[in-house]
Structure 1
Amino acid sequence: MKKIGLIILGLCSQLSFAQANRFIYQVTMKPDSTNRNDIKTELAYLDATPEKSIFYGEKRLQRDSLFTKVRQTGSFNFDRSQMQNLRSNIDFTVDKDFKTNTKTFTSRIARDQYAYEEDRPMEWKILTETAKIGDYKTQKAETQFAGRSWFAWFTTDIPFQDGPYKFSGLPGLIVKVEDSKGDYSFDLKESKKIAAIQAFSQSGNPVKIKRKDFEKQETLFRKDPASFMQASMVSARGGSGISAPQSRGSMRTPDPNQRRQMETRMAEELKKNNNPIELK
């Protein structure tokens, strides 16, 4: 009986190790610095194992499930409002590989997906202040990252040296992290076991570039989104003389009226999203 008990315990341990953990965060954002009453709130997931993790928005998962269903059934039986409801301010993923100590940020600019490895170290100062957040006893830490001062509360009760977005490296899971201006905050709301880390379907591989080059492309896009997208389409058709990413999207020429509406909407959205999480 003792041997059977040890075997069962061993199998349970292996099963637990094979599983992943999902930490669900509420993300609060003030993307428009000219209207601080415009507060956006979304849920985001951190799927983690001792070897790796991925951080992404809940709506990204919902969109991916919808598109998978479309591909499987061949039915496009959903309306425009459904897609509008799945639009997100967390339209990126952050993959962390703890074996290689790398963080990969993947996001879309216009029609293309880009990926870069984060090259800025996150240096924490652990403070003496403690607090009870939910069921967890936490300790405070601070860091300077990407133009903002950040304060985090971590717990050693959960043995993952990880956290939401690009935050990691503290001796326990980050339960809460917010910037000093109150523009962005990530608050742990729930955790559960899942079978495996989420894997997203990709239409082609992301364009791998350096972080500085990603930022240059993003600046060009924000400055003149219409010209950026036009250059992207010309480049995709084999045009010359224009430096732009190669697009893998549809080659169909849009209706001029639809295109103008899209450009106007895009310009308005960019104007309201003038307070990014990373300032420099």
Structure 2
Amino acid sequence: MKKVIILFSLMMAALSNGQNQRFIYDYKFITDSTARDKQESETMYLEVTSKGSKFYSKDYFESDSTMQAIVAKDTQSLNINLGNFKFKGRIRYNIEKMYPDYSTNFFTTLGSDEYQVQENRKQSWKILPEKEKIGEFNAQKAVCDFAGRQWTAWFTTDLPIQDGPYKFYGLPGLIVKVEDHTRSHVFELKASKKLPAAYEWKSTKDKERYHPLITISEAKFKKAFNDYRLDPMKGQKQMLAQGTIIEMRDSSGKVLDPVKASRDQETKAKANIKRQNNILEIDLLK
């Protein structure tokens, strides 16, 4: 316990006086176990401040910011048009850890619903003697079981920050690389930079949204997650049943028949979900 307290004090000292840091990770992932040759990659940010950390996709954050600006502008003219807008990035979640207790919240969406899930599981790390050079850092090996997978992490005490990518934390130094035993999901630190002096840490739960944020337990989220996989268009069907008019257009701007368009959308959504059989938290599917 003394070691943890000392390291946390060092971390606070390192992050004081505006020394907030953004750690840039490359996330390589295979979500379809039947197509292991189709590995994808996404740039992820871990932003660390004295208050806590945030982990999210660079591309998705930029797309979301652009969409919010479009909506804010079009709202004034009462003509919101997102017909040609396309989100970048495959990773649609973000994760917040609050210091010093590392309470972790997972923010994600299922259809049009946005969820906040309190993470209660803890990682029980076993630190091993093996050491290796990861990028520019001298790192040490640790292993744990988490979310239905066996994980190997490499951490460096050169950066006395007990944090890491995704929901991982709790080692005596920053996690610079972590991968599951099948190498389906690999996070590796590639760079870091100081955040601007004016940077202000804001929680995702406090952002403006048009539908209320759903705060939910892990068990209830697992049910909602699997219900969504069975019927990804449930929310839209309910809107149509209530008389809501949903106008859909193709790439040329032509108005589509809402029933047929919804049916086609459902077929595509279910095909995509079927391919998502090797997700990071594989225990969600069990």
User: Shorter-chain TM-score category?
Assistant: 0.7 to 0.9
How far does residue 100 in structure 1 lie from its aligned partner after superposition?
3.8
1:144 corresponds to: 145
Shift of 1:77: 8.2
State the distance in 1 between where 2:43 and 2:221 align.
Answer: 26
Distance in 2 between residues matched to 1:266 and 1:110, nearest whole Å: 10
- Return the offset for 1:66: 0.8
1:233 corresponds to which residue? 239
The secondary structure found in structure 2 opposite 1:229 is: helix
In structure 1, the gaps of 5 or more residues are 1-12, 239-250
Cα distance in 1 for partners of 2:195, 2:139 equals 24
Query: After TM superposition, what 4+ stretches of structure 1 lie above 6 angstroms from structure 2?
Result: 75-79
Gaps of 5+ in 2: 1-12, 248-257
Cα-to-partner distance string for 1:118-153 (whole Å, 9 max, x where unaligned): 111111000000011111100010000011000000
Let me know the Cα RMSD of the aligned residues.
Answer: 2.6
Which residue does 1:275 correspond to in 2? 278
Equivalences for 1:238-253 in 2 at 5 Å? 251-253=244-246
Q: Is the 8 A contact 2:57 2:89 kept in 1?
A: no
Corresponding residue of 1:68 = 68
How do residues 204-243 of structure 1 correspond to structure 2 at under 5 angstroms? Answer: 204-226=211-233, 228-230=234-236, 233=239
Question: SS of the residue aligned with 1:18?
Answer: coil
Asked if residue 26 in structure 1 is aligned to residue 32 in structure 2, the reply is: no
Q: SS in structure 2 opposite 1:61?
A: helix
- Give the drift of 1:231: 6.3
Does the alignment pair 1:162 with 2:163?
A: yes
Report the TM-score when normalising by structure 2.
0.80
Corresponding residue pairs, total: 251
The Cα offsets for residues 242-270 of structure 1, whole Å up to 9 and x where unpaired, read as xxxxxxxxx53351122122112211111
Q: Select between 139-148 and 259-268 the one with higher mean Cα deviation.
A: 259-268
Give the Cα–Cα distance (whole angstroms) in 2 for the partners of residues 44 and 198 of structure 1. 17
CA apart distance, 1:198: 5.7
1:77–1:230 Cα change, 3 Å = closer
Q: Distance in 2 between matches of 1:48 and 1:62?
A: 19
Distance 2:48 2:200 in 1: 7
Whether the 8 Å contact between 2:179 and 2:186 is mirrored in structure 1 is yes
